[in-house]
Amino acid sequence: MLAFYNIVFVLLAAQLLVIASPVPPAPSSSSPPSPVTPLSPILPINVGHIQEKLQNIACIIPLLRIFLCLNQGSNQVSVNTPLGAAKGVLTTPGVARFVVRYATAPRWNAPQPVQAWSIPNNDPTALPPGCSQDESFGFAASYSEDCLFAILYVPASLQTLLSGGIPTMVWIHGGSFIVGSATASGLDASKLAEATQSIVAVVQYRLGALGLIPPPSLGGSTNLAVKDVVQSLKFLQGVIPSFGGDPAKITIAGQSSGASMVRALLGVPTANSLFRSAIIESDPMDFGFLKPSSLTNLQNALFSSLSCSTTDTSCLNALPASAFVQAQNIIMNNGANIDPAAGQFEPIRPIVDGSFLATSQDGNSFPSTHKPLLITTVKNEAGLPIGGAYSQPQAVSTYTTNINNTLPDGRGSLILNSNFYASPATADGDAVRVALDTFYTDYFYRCPSLFFARTWSSLGGTVYTGLFVKGATYAGNQYVSYCLGKVCHQDDIYILFGTTPSPTPDQTALTKEIQARWGAFIHNANPNPIPNLYAQWAQATPSDTHTLQLGGSGEAAPGGCTPGFWGDTVKFDWEVYGQ
């Protein structure tokens, strides 16, 4: 970092001397030439005066004023924005963190823009409370309904200084739409911001019933969680220029339900101008989004368990947030029985209402604008639930029972009679759990993602697909022995953010590659860095997704995701239940 400061001061000194030095008049033909004294200064130089001038110049340049204008003896920084002074702290040399409230939202109301820069407890070092959720999962140190905050990680280097406005990646956390926060394990984006030379903003949004299942009497309050994220993008477009960012260079990204949120934003017309590209990691695309009739069924189930009438908003507003968090367990435990389209795994999801969320991004329901996309999954997406349900190797009968119970509508027999997912011949080794892992990974994640990529390409969109075949065990996954040595759901997070605890050399190398590729995509909508020190990543086509193995070599074989099987011979859930 000191080297960066020195280079900057040299450049500014040169600029200052050019500005301060008088241009000598052109000699007249009658004047004798002036004698030249080698190396004589044009003006006497007062070093202290120049240093003061340099400091003044530095403090009016967005990127530099963050890092060169620190409060004396402090790691706190301050930047002027249209909403007032943004106060933050240095997290690592060269990266500053700013926490900010991007909106306010009384219960069941759409988010409202803030009028001033606001931070938790007026403390630049404080992290935000997570949105109301089941606190036993431990995704934040505290929780509140007043939770619409973003955490900005801002880098500084000579490269970003000279490149003009730098891009921004907006990260949307996962958690099945019911848990999660911007402070969840591994989401410190300091290293990611520095490596990609981009601003990284990690945003929070309302969760569960408070974000996606409003009282039936408030019909216009659907998709509040999605509206929260849209408002965060509007907020960021207005303030990132103060940090050296270019509002025209925003990439939205997310993992798991955060990736589903990214996919939803592709279908929100009012969000179209707020970002230019998107990254979708481990999105359970098979589920699709819900239709209004499904929302009605979920509302009836949820609010019938509460002590208030659905039309008594005063009573509903008086209930603690914990009442809704507890009540939504009815939906989480019985989603498929309440409404088959909701399913049993992630029943609380955005609603395709035809206006705000206009398209579902499946079937024939796509937006007219097809932004550049980067879509990835991990090798063992289903390893966590499979290993959690079955701590030991299983008999062959466990495989067939699971398939038939999951797909009792005739799809199960198609699966078992296929060449891709036939029942293991024996239970030798761990064959049954491995087969279940492969099936559910393909069913929920990989095959619908590749189907989506081929469709997006056929519509004229640019899309790249990847498969993580190496990763880093995410917090909690280590307690599921089946996931040890595998790449289970969430095991890409530490790799991307550079937050792997005690990384191996292979993990360090993979992080370097992933950050280089994601950085290239954020900057240029192409995950091939310039110069490209890695294998060329080819675009997907309507017939071949060219899925690059991340942490491996070459492209991944499609297996059961071969065109013509999933989505045709065997229907996805979004096809069965429709929109």
Provide the residue ranges of all domains of the chain, joining segments of one domain with +.
76-371, 374-577
Name the nearest CA neighbour of 426 among 405, 392, 397. 397
What are φ and ψ of residue 93, in 5° steps? -55, 120
CA distance 152 to 71: 20
Distance CA 530, CA 509 (A): 18
Looking at per-residue pLDDT, the higher value among 193 and 8 belongs to: 193
Report in angstroms the alpha-carbon separations of 296 from 270, 299, 311, 351. 25, 5, 14, 11
Lowest mean pLDDT among 64-73, 278-287, 402-411, 567-576: 64-73
Q: Is the pLDDT of residue 61 over 60?
A: no
Using 50, 70 and 90 to split pLDDT, how confident is the model at 92?
Answer: confident
- From residue 448, alpha-carbon distances to 201, 275, 281, 442, 545 in Å are 28, 24, 13, 8, 12
Question: Is it the case that residue 299 has pLDDT exceeding 80?
Answer: yes
Mean pLDDT for the chain overall: 89
- The structure tokens listed for 45 are 């130089």
CATH class given for the domain over 76-371: alpha beta
pLDDT at 114: 98
Question: Which range (23-27, 65-69, 80-84, 520-524) has the least confidence?
Answer: 23-27
Can you give the three-state secondary structure of 384-395, one letter per residue? HHHHHHCCCCCC
* For residues 77-101, average pLDDT: 95
In tens, the pLDDT along 245-290 reads: 999 999 999 999 999 999 999 999 999 999 999 999 999 999 999 9
Name the one residue in this structure whose structure tokens are 């999951």: 406
Which band of pLDDT confidence, cut at 50, 70 and 90, is reported for residue 47? very low
Structure confidence at residue 217 (pLDDT): 85
Q: What single DSSP character describes residue 466?
A: E
pLDDT at 116: 98
Assess whether pLDDT exceeds 70 at residue 556.
Answer: yes
**What is the per-residue pLDDT for 159?**
55
Q: How confident is residue 17, by pLDDT bands cut at 50, 70 and 90?
A: very low
pLDDT band (50, 70, 90) for residue 53: very low
pLDDT of 10 > 60? The answer is no
Q: What is the mean pLDDT of residues 123-151?
A: 95
pLDDT of the residue at 337: 96
| Residue 33: predicted pLDDT | 40
Average pLDDT over residues 141-168: 85
Q: Quote the tokens at residue 386.
A: 């499979």
How does residue 180 score in pLDDT terms, banded at 50, 70 and 90? very high
> b/e string for 277-293 if b means 16 or more Cβ within 10 A?
bbbbbbbbbbbbbbbee
Q: Do domains 76-371 and 374-577 have the same CATH topology?
A: yes
Q: Give me the percent of the chain exceeding a pLDDT of 70.
A: 85
pLDDT at 289: 97
DSSP, collapsed to helix, strand or coil, labels residue 191 as helix
Tokens 């499979």 found at: 386
pLDDT digits (tens, 9 = 90+) for 326-368: 999 999 999 999 999 999 899 999 999 999 999 999 988 999 9
| pLDDT attached to residue 86 | 97
How would you class 31 by CB atoms within 10 Å of its CB: exposed for 0-12, middle for 13-18, buried for 19 or more?
Answer: exposed
CA–CA distance, 104 with 486 (Å, rounded to integer) = 41
Q: Spell 136-171 as b/e; 16+ CB within 10 A means b.
A: eeebbeebebebbbbbbbbbbbeebbeeebbbbbbb
Lowest mean pLDDT among 21-30, 294-303, 434-443, 515-524: 21-30
Asked if pLDDT for residue 540 goes beyond 90, the answer is: yes
User: Residue 19: its pLDDT value, please?
Assistant: 33
| Residue 192, SS3 per DSSP | helix
Residue 436 near residue 402 (C-beta atoms within 8 A): yes
Q: Tokens for 326? A: 């507890």
CATH among 3.90.870.10, 3.40.50.720, 3.40.50.1820, 3.40.50.1100 for 374-577: 3.40.50.1820
366-425 residue pLDDT tens: 999 999 999 999 999 999 999 999 999 999 999 999 999 999 889 999 999 999 999 999
Nearest Cα to Cα of residue 423 among 400, 407, 393: 400
Give the model's pLDDT for residue 162.
Answer: 59
pTM assigned to the model: 0.89
pLDDT at 172: 99
